[in-house]
Amino acid sequence: MTSPSPHPFGRALCAMVTPFTDDGAVDLAGAQKLAAHLVDGGCDGLVLSGTTGESPTTTDREKADLIRAVAEAVGDRAAVLAGVGSPDTRHTVELARAAEQAGADGLLVVTPYYSRPPQDAVEAHFRRVADAVGVPLMLYDIPGRTGTRIEPDTMLRLAGHTRITAVKDCAYDLLGSTKVISRTGLAYYSGCEELNLPLYAVGGAGFVSTVANVAAPRLRAVLDAYDAGETAEAARLNQLALPLTELMMASGLPGTVTAKALLGALGLPAGPVREPLRPADRETVDGLLKAYALLAQP
């Protein structure tokens, strides 16, 4: 069976950007500074080398170095999860073992992409990874990017593995997610900010958020209000975050681009994005700063 903990990695997790120096190298000192800032702001966990962390354009060595640096910076104050997904099962296992050795507390494993494997192959892939390590896995269900869903029935079977404990849910299927939540011990984390509160209300564990790079306290406040039984206040706080969320996540630019643009404007470590991504223009940055200022008001 899966972990009995409803929040195995905490509730408020940030899908952290990977800071780069001006010449494009991974900025490990900057990553440590940003990680400490995020934890100070209420993040229970940091997810490295995911979509927001530009995992497709960082090397295996860079990923391992990043884990070591961030784990050193936050110590036992927050869980450190490492993205290890790839379209190749063998490579994913190698990344998973390296992340565990580098100090990751858990692994974020995305569905194999591009080749569009059938469900029995998807299930076998995740089991291979889970069998290869001693740390828990968070499965990353994001069919809009991978082209392949982790179907609810597949989730139900995978929930029986002792090291498969959580899901980052970007499937946009609240019915399917609720079905799995109700029948397993899997901890479901929203990977889509607009569903943070709805998923939490039906038994979700929390969120893994790109917007948390710049607004973690505000997003966490939504969960705190809900836990306190103040559902109307939770809804109000959730609504206040929507303008910034929409600009960061639904403006036609990747969340990595908007998060790094806003972090940089706020004087926090971020640096440039790696190609093929391109930086946000001045108009976009100004709009982000305006929405951030409105959200930051008491």
| Residues forming the active site | 140, 168
Q: What share of the chain is helix, strand, coil (3-state, %, to 5)?
A: 50, 15, 35
C-alpha neighbours within 13 Å on the C-beta side of residue 58: 30
101 Cα distance to chain centroid? 21
SS (H, E, C) 116-129: CCCHHHHHHHHHHH
With beta carbons less than 8 A apart as the criterion, state whether 32 and 26 touch. Answer: no
Give the span between the Cα atoms of 22 and 33, in whole angstroms: 16
Amino acid identity at 219: L
With beta carbons less than 8 A apart as the criterion, state whether 154 and 123 touch. Answer: yes
With beta carbons less than 8 A apart as the criterion, state whether 132 and 93 touch. Answer: yes
